[in-house]
Amino acid sequence: MGAAACGSESIVRKPFGKTPEGQAVELYCLTNRNGMQASIMTYGGIVVSLTAPDRDGRYADVVLGFDRLEDYLAGHPYFGALIGRYGNRIAKGRFTLDGTPYTLAVNDGENHLHGGIRGFDKAVWQARGAIEKTGLEVALAYASADGEEGYPGNLAVKVVYTLTDSNELKIEYSATTDKPTPVNLTNHSYFNLAGQDSGDILGHELAIAADRFTPVDKGLIPSGELRPVAGTPFDFRQPTAIGARIEQADEQLQFGGGYDHNFVLNRRQEGALELAASVYEPKSGRLMEVFTTEPGIQFYSGNFLDGTNVGKGGKVYNRRNGLCLETQHFPDSPNKPAFPAVILRPGREYSTTTVYRFSAQ
Ligand code: GLA
């Protein structure tokens, strides 16, 4: 039985196996009034499945992943996972904060990626499901210890997923700390709006509300420049097929093996929930709109997928079979004083919101 088969109740909680350390993992299956379903597990806070209607009202699972916990435990490229303590890269796993140098776990060449060797994507989160006026909610909590993966401070993290009757998956992230620390939380879902088993995403039409992006070096660390997208393959200000320019001779596309870049979102009001990106899949008519309070979004075109992951229903995920739109602060911000600040201090609360809204045209 696939993970998306959840039953008819609004919130169903079921056992989803055990970690090698013997920790029980649960799967929360949410079904809204329209029949849209989201299933989220306590291991990694992973969105295991998410259905969305096409223009004829037919639901399909639009996120990559696996049917069984074992496949997630065996290793995977962050399918559906919560990412922390710091999403994306920190150069050489090093930064200095209030004059003190810190060294983080290095897990991506010479750099630190997505929180390190055992990031929040591999933690078992405490969970509570509830039916609220705003929708069906799964509240997840995780206590990240002082020194975990090299980060300073005990960080209390909370992530609330809400499935609304407007076919939105809302993700609210919050955190507090007892020592200053960088924090940058996101979700790493891989979307394929034709359905998770439908091949590449090159025909998806993407729009990103960004006049600028952050170019990177070979190791995908931003140079610090905020470069205009105008006249480059990074101009998604009008909806454009992802495949239209991905093979162009362009140094930035070469470094990423395709798109793997942070976009600087145009903001009307800093910290407000605004439309950041939209993706339209012409065959099914499915549309996904991404709203966020964050200043940036990482558009990753699934370049590292290489057929080694056998996903739901036995589907082999090949190169560019899914795309990620990871709302975030800019990569390597702890080493880039000109980028928006990412340091959380005791007495302050980290709080961000991202909404993925699904419809069809
Ligand atoms: C992010 C990174 C990519 C890659 C994926 C996971 O999107 O920017 O380079 O590491 O995560 O495979």
Atom of ligand 1 minimally distant from the CA of 89: 8
Residue among 26, 137, 326, 329 flagged as catalytic? 326
In a domain, 269, yes or no: yes
**In the structure encoding, which two tokens stand for residue 109, read together?**
């060449």
Contact between 153 and 183 under an 8 Å Cβ cutoff? The reply is no
With vertex at residue 271, the alpha carbon angle to CA 184 and CA 151, rounded to the nearest 5 degrees, is 15
* Inside any domain, residue 320: yes
Given a contact cutoff of 8 angstroms between Cβ atoms, the answer to whether 162 and 135 are in contact is yes
CA 248 to ligand 1 centroid distance, Å: 21
**For a substitution probing ligand 1, which of 64, 83, 114 has the most ligand atoms within 8 Å of its CB?**
114
| Distance spanning both ends of the chain, measured CA to CA | 30
Residue of 188, 204, 261, 329 with catalytic role? 188
Separation of alpha carbons 99 and 67, rounded Å: 46
Rounded Cα–Cα distance for residues 305 and 147 (Å): 32
Q: Decide if 285 is inside a domain.
A: yes
Q: Is 117 inside a domain boundary?
A: yes
Query: How many angstroms does the Cα of residue 329 sit away from the middle of ligand 1?
Result: 15
In the 3-class helix/strand/coil scheme, how is 48-110 assigned residue by residue? EEEEEECCCCCEEECECCCCCHHHHHCCCCCCCCEECCECCEEHHHEEEECCEEEECCCCECC
Closest ligand 1 atom to Cα of 78: 6
Output the pLDDT for position 8. 54
What is the atom index within ligand 1 of the atom nearest the CA of 113? 10
- pLDDT confidence of residue 44: 99
Q: What is the pTM of this model?
A: 0.97
Question: How far is the C-alpha of 13 from the C-alpha of 154, rounded, in Å?
Answer: 29
- What CATH number did the domain enclosing 167 receive? 2.70.98.10
Q: How close is the Cα of 276 to the center of ligand 1, in Å?
A: 19
For residue 300, the Cα-to-chain-centroid distance in whole angstroms is 10
Helix (H) or strand (E) run with residue 151 in it: none
In a domain, 53, yes or no: no
For 145-238, list the strands marked E by DSSP.
155-163, 168-177, 181-182, 186-187, 205-208, 212-214, 227-228
As given in the structure block, the two tokens for residue 130 are 């509830």
SS (H, E, C) 238-272: CCEEHHHCCCCCCHHHHHHCCCEEEEECCCCCCCC
Euclidean distance between CA atoms 233 and 229, whole angstroms: 7
Q: How far is the CA of 89 from the centre of ligand 1 (A)?
A: 9
Residue 305 in domain = yes
pLDDT for 95: 98
> 């997928």: which residue's tokens?
305
Q: For residue 326, indicate whether it is catalytic.
A: yes
Span from the CA of 361 to the centroid of ligand 1 (angstroms): 30
Per the structure, the count of domains in the chain is: 1
| Minimum CA distance residue for ligand 1 atom 6 | 77
Please indicate, yes or no, if residue 309 is contained in any of the structural domains.
yes
State which residues form the domain around 94: 77-124+132-361
Q: Which of 260, 261, 317, 330 to mutate to test the pocket of ligand 1 (most atoms within 8 A of CB)?
A: 260
pLDDT of residue 10: 87
**Spatial contact of 354 and 291, defined as CB atoms under 8 Å apart:** yes
* Dihedral sign from CA coordinates of 143, 146, 150, 155: positive
- List ligand 1's pocket residues with C-beta within 6 A: 77-78, 88, 113, 220, 260, 298, 300, 304, 324, 326
Tell me the CA–centroid distance for residue 260 and ligand 1, in Å: 7
What sign does the CA torsion over 103, 109, 43, 24 have? negative
Going residue by residue through the chain (361 aa), what tens digit of pLDDT does each one get?
A: 344 445 454 899 999 999 999 999 999 999 999 999 999 999 999 999 999 999 999 999 999 999 999 999 999 999 999 999 999 999 999 999 999 999 999 999 999 999 999 999 999 999 999 999 899 999 999 999 999 999 999 999 999 999 999 999 999 999 999 999 999 999 999 999 999 999 999 999 999 999 999 999 999 999 999 999 999 999 999 999 999 999 999 999 999 999 999 999 999 999 999 999 999 999 999 999 999 999 999 999 999 999 999 999 999 999 999 999 999 999 999 999 999 999 999 999 999 999 999 999 9
Closest CA to 317 of 213, 203, 191, 141: 191
CA of 252 to the centre of ligand 1 (A): 15
In this structure, the residue with its CA closest to atom 7 of ligand 1 is: 300
**Choice from 79, 88, 255, 259 to test ligand 1 binding pocket (greatest atom count within 8 A of CB):** 88
* Residue 112 is a catalytic residue: no
CA distance 191 to 52: 11
Answer yes or no: are the C-beta atoms of 27 and 37 closer than 8 Å: no
Residue 213 lies inside a defined structural domain of this protein: yes
Hey, which of 46, 113, 253 would you mutate to test ligand 1's pocket, going by the most ligand atoms within 8 Å of its Cβ?
113
Residue 254 CB contacts under 8 Å (≥ 6 apart), including other chains = none
Is 331 in a helix, a strand, or coil?
coil
